[in-house]
A and B are shown apart, each in its own frame.
Chain A
Amino acid sequence: MKLVGIAGSNVGSKTRTAMDYTLKIAREKYPQADITLLDLAEYDMAFSDGRNYWEYDGDTKYVTETIMDADALIIGTPTFQASIPATLKNIFDLLPVNAFRDKVVSMVVTAGTAKHYLMAEQQLKPILAYMKAHIVPTYVFIEEKDYLRREIVNDDVLFRMERLVEDTVLLVDAYSQIREKKDAEYDF
């Protein structure tokens, strides 16, 4: 199973820290899984200009192809102006409409205040649904006060992360079984 984590902004540290925690849990629980982190701060991404994703070169090609090759994505996003950052939206714009078909996608959301709790519901989930993702319904929401410097100090967040990782992997298995069962009905 290929699991790709995305840290969706090119500034700040909270989302990256949350993704490091999340993927550490994933690596411990599922040592056989192929796990990659894409921190968008580390890549020089082109703005989407209408080309197919594989026609870009350099970082843009690497990042989009890595995402398209995944069975599951854990998307980490901060909250900018009550929405996702442009860096993350650009990733979606670079990919084809049905990019997330047969992929499980879960979310880790950071924000300065709990008032942004529904941002993922209103901003991120509709995009993922449009792109045909199997969305893990619950997400981990982490706010400013859950961090102390670069550590997460709220045990509830840590337990939630563990459940998010488990749910993500479980759904990959469940959906691939569903797909196999469905495909077996067809004679082609």
Chain B
Amino acid sequence: MEQFRIAKNKGVEFGLYSIGDHLFNPHTGIKISAQQRIQELVDASKLADEAGLDVFAVGESHQTYFTTQAHTVILGAIAQATNQIKIASSATVLSTSDPVRVYEDFATIDLLSNGRAEIVAGRGSRIGAYSLLGYDVRDYEELFEEKMDLLLKLNKEEAVSWEGQFRAALKNASIYPQPLNGHLPIWRAVGGPPASAIKAGHAGVPMMLTTLGGPAINFKVSVDAYREAAEQNGFDSSNLPIATTSLFYTAEDSKDALREYYPHINSGMQALRGGGYPKQQFAQSVDYRDALMVGSPQQIVEKMLYQYELYGHQRFMAQIDFGGVPFDKIAKNIELIATKIMPEIKKHTAQD
């Protein structure tokens, strides 16, 4: 785990992430400016850093309703604004980027942040980047696999020689600057089903798995498949970290959490997926067996410990700003995470 900067004696890491969605707040009907949205992401990272959270991550989506297309630029600002917190992507759409530029960017962020940068590489669940940046979505699978191979090679070797279909060949190429300690933690972003989890395990790459609601046990298939694929290919799966991600909202009182959050998740899903979140399904989500992280701090702790039993994961990433959640509520969530949730989680999951 050390090469991925994970310390078992500190327990499950707690991080925040944003996909940079830019939507109106359904309680007020107000949509803040893109400038304010980006500034508040940096402000949230400062609060998370001061509160002792472990990770802050920003992702890219190249289409309407999003502001963080240039996520590495924002992560650079976050590197300057913070001191301790790890800085990651959530995710970098590697398929439509040049792995060399991605590596240069994150190596730079690693230097700016004194060794806190990590790459989470994914294929993108929204496909806006493909047409905008000149890629054919029909190459969805191949684009990612080829570029991921190159990215991992850049992280491993000093002089890289490489040939592929989607990028000019490299001959003894050296990448500058290098990260602080020569390597970066590189994760693979994995959607719910096991197909992509198996690919991550096969390559011996840490996995960040979305568990966006529904029964938590449904995602165990992917966790098991990941570890099995890693073992079959000669990796020690006990050295490979797993992170999970979920939409997240907490308030002191469970009823307040539901009442405050429902309009955000409903209108956010309506805007981004074309269908709202059914109330019946949302009402079920407070059950500890459901993966959606909504409820009182006690309920969140119960859910997280249940999931820890299921998955044995090393990191949890919470998406606390979905669907126009205003900054004062984001700040409140960070406070509750730091004071009521994290201490409990760490106490129960820290290993000697």
A interface, CB within 8 angstroms of B: 49-55, 68, 95-96, 98-99, 101, 182-183, 185-188
The one of A95, A98, A187 in contact with B259, judged by C-beta atoms closer than 8 angstroms, is A187
Is the CB–CB distance between B278 and A101 below 8 Å? yes
Name the B residues within 8 Å of A55 (CB-CB): 63
Q: Which listed residue, A49, A52, A54, A188, touches B279 by the CB 8 Å rule?
A: A188
Candidate in A55, A185, A188 with the most chain B CB atoms within 10 angstroms: A188
Interface assignment of B282: CB less than 8 Å from any CB of chain A: yes
Question: Interface code B57-74, partner A: CB below 8 Å = 1, 0 otherwise?
Answer: 000000100000000000
Q: What is the size category of the interface that chain B forms with chain A?
A: 10 to 19
Contact residues, B160-214 vs A (CB, 8 A) = none
Residues of B within 8 A of A188 (CB): 255, 258-259, 261-262, 279, 282-283
Partner of B275, one of A101, A182, A186: A101
Q: Are B279 and A96 in contact (CB under 8 A)?
A: no
- What are 27 contact pairs spanning A and B, CB under 8 A? A49-B137, A50-B127, A50-B137, A53-B274, A54-B274, A55-B63, A95-B274, A96-B273, A96-B274, A96-B275, A99-B274, A99-B275, A101-B278, A183-B279, A185-B283, A186-B258, A186-B279, A186-B282, A186-B283, A187-B258, A187-B259, A188-B255, A188-B258, A188-B259, A188-B261, A188-B279, A188-B283
Choose among B137, B259, B274 the residue that contacts A52 (Cβ–Cβ < 8 A): B274
Report A8 CB to chain B, min CB distance, Å. 21
Interface residues of B in 255-292 (CB under 8 A from A): 255, 258-259, 261-262, 273-275, 278-280, 282-283
Residues of B within 8 A of A186 (CB): 258, 279, 282-283
Closest to B262 in A: A188
Chain A residue contacts of B261, Cβ below 8 A: 188
Docked Cα-Cα span, A99 to B276, in Å, equals 10
Q: How far is the CA of A19 from the CA of B350 in the complex (A)?
A: 66
Q: How far is the CB of B298 from chain A (nearest CB, A)?
A: 18
Closest to B294 in A: A188
Contact in complex: B258, A68 (CB < 8 Å): no
Q: In the assembly, what is the distance between CA of A101 and CA of B137, in Å? A: 29
CB-CB under 8 A from B274, the residues of chain A are 52-54, 68, 95-96, 99
Kindly list chain A residues whose C-beta atoms are within 8 Å of the C-beta of B273.
Answer: 52, 96
Report if A182-B279 is in contact (Cβ < 8 Å); known contacts: A51-B127, A68-B274, A96-B274. yes
The distance from the CB of B267 to the nearest CB of chain A, in whole angstroms, is: 14
**Within the complex, what minimum Cβ distance (angstroms) separates B23 from chain A?**
14
- Which chain B residue lies CB-closest to A184? B279
Interface residues of B, Cβ cutoff 8 Å to A = 63, 127, 137, 255, 258-259, 261-262, 273-275, 278-280, 282-283
By the criterion CB–CB under 8 Å, are B258 and A182 in contact?
A: no
Q: Min CB distance, B325 to chain A, in Å? A: 15
Chain A to chain B: the 3 pairs with minimum beta-carbon distance, closest first = A188-B258, A188-B259, A188-B262
Name the distance in Å between A17's Cβ and chain B's nearest Cβ.
32
Chain B neighbourhood of A68, CB < 8 A: 274
Q: How far is the CA of A23 from the CA of B59 in the complex (A)?
A: 48
Beta-carbon contact of A98 and B275 below 8 Å: yes
Given contacts A99-B274, A187-B258, 12 further A-B contacts (CB under 8 A): A49-B137, A50-B127, A52-B274, A98-B275, A101-B275, A183-B279, A185-B283, A187-B255, A188-B255, A188-B259, A188-B261, A188-B262
Query: For the complex, what is the distance from the CA of A52 to the CA of B261, rounded to whole Å?
Result: 25
Q: Which residues of A contact B280 (CB under 8 A)?
A: 182
Residues of A within 8 A of B63 (CB): 55
Q: What is the distance, in angstroms, from A66's C-beta to the closest C-beta of chain B?
A: 14
- Taking the closest CB of chain B, its distance from the CB of A182, in whole angstroms, is 7
Q: Chain A nearest CB: distance from B133 CB in Å?
A: 16
A183 to B259, CA, bound (A): 13
CB distance from A61 to the nearest CB of B (A): 12
Q: Which residue of B lies closest to A182 (CB)?
A: B280
Give the CA-CA distance A59 to B88 in the complex, in Å.
41
CA distance A101 to B270 in the complex (A): 13
Shortest distance between the CB of A77 and any CB in chain B (Å): 23
Tell me the minimal C-beta distance from A51 to chain B in angstroms: 7
Nearest B residue (CB) for A68: B274
